[in-house]
Amino acid sequence: MAVSSLRVKEDQRLRFGGKSIEVIVGPEEETFCLHEELVCAHSKFFENAMSREWKESAERRVRLPVDSPDIFSLYQNWLYTRKIPTAINKPGREGNVEYIRLSQAYCLGEKLMDTTFRDAIIDAIISKAETPASDCNNWYPVGEAVRVIYSGTPEDSPARKLFVTMYVWCGSEKWITFWSKREDLPKDFLIDLTTALLSDRKLPKGVYPWVGSNTCQWHSHGKETLCYKG
């Protein structure tokens, strides 16, 4: 560790004061303990839960029954270490698992109303996209990762915009055809992508290809059958 990184500004101090909160996550009710002052400083969800006369505040226990303990563990790691332990330096489907977990973490940050965590996840996604995998190629989020983001974020989500921008700049028609045969890509994603591509495209020059006498290229009769025009 560089000596310069040992000293930080006062506002970067992590706060561990106050009582702890139990967070019960998932259907199997895995328990996580978080310092109240720390988590409430970052999450509006927890701040609301602990500042009102709710059952959660009295019991000092918050339940997240439909969330994943694995993904919540990423959030806990971020709170205490400012690290996101997801790195998978592999190509293809194996590497896309990291995009899926990061997408799930972003959606958890949306639910917990933690802007800082969501921003960190965005940077982690960008870092992964910028870092070549073990096959020396750059890989981008596909399939399930896209579905996770579009099912767990609002229409104006920066994460949605990031994914669409990655497809506009780096995408291939093979991505769409490959994944559409295996998974249902979100309709909203396809609309966003089409809109972005059409708005950014350079208009073709010259005569419109459907204008002129050779309209047979748009007909169904084929080369072996005489056109109705003779």
Q: What is the 3-state secondary structure (H, E, C) of the chain?
A: CCHHHHCCCHHHCCCCCCCEEEEEECCCCEEEEEEHHHHHHHCHHHHHHHHCCCHHHHHCEEEECCCCHHHHHHHHHHHHHCCCCCCCCCCHHHHHHHHHHHHHHHHHHHHHCCHHHHHHHHHHHHHHHHCCCCCCCCCCCCCHHHHHHHHHCCCCCHHHHHHHHHHHHHCCHHHHHHHHCCCCCCHHHHHHHHHHHHHHCCCCCCCCCCCCCCHHHHCCCCCCCCCCCC
Domain assignment present for residue 112? The answer is yes
Q: What is the pLDDT of residue 209?
A: 80
Q: Return the structure tokens found at 45.
A: 């969800």
Domain assignment present for residue 136? The answer is yes
Q: Could you list the pLDDT tens digit for every one of the 230 residues in the chain?
A: 455 567 677 777 766 767 899 999 999 999 999 999 999 999 999 999 888 776 777 788 999 999 999 999 999 999 999 999 999 999 999 999 999 999 999 999 999 999 999 999 999 999 999 999 999 999 999 889 999 999 999 999 999 999 999 999 998 888 888 777 777 789 999 999 999 999 888 888 888 888 877 888 888 898 888 888 87
Q: Return the structure tokens found at 200.
A: 């950014």
Region at 195 (left for phi over 0; alpha for psi -120 to 50; beta for the rest): alpha
What single letter denotes the amino acid at residue 133? Answer: A
Q: What is the pLDDT of residue 3?
A: 52
Domain assignment present for residue 30? The answer is no
Domain containing 136 equals: 89-200
Domain assignment present for residue 13? The answer is no
Region at 92 (left for phi over 0; alpha for psi -120 to 50; beta for the rest): left
What single letter denotes the amino acid at residue 151? Answer: S
Q: From the CB of residue 197, how many other CB atoms can be counted at a distance below 10 Å? A: 13
Domain assignment present for residue 141? The answer is yes
Q: pTM for the whole thing?
A: 0.85
Domain assignment present for residue 60? The answer is no
Q: Cα angle vertex 103, ends 188, 27, to 5°?
A: 105
The phi, psi pair for 178, rounded to 5°, reads -65, -50
Q: Return the structure tokens found at 64.
A: 């997240």
How far apart CA 126 and CA 177 sit, in angstroms, is 24
Domain assignment present for residue 131? The answer is yes
Domain assignment present for residue 70? The answer is no
Q: What is the pLDDT of residue 1?
A: 45
Counted domains in the chain: 1
Q: What is the pLDDT of residue 5?
A: 65
What single letter denotes the amino acid at residue 179? Answer: W
Q: What is the pLDDT of residue 131?
A: 95
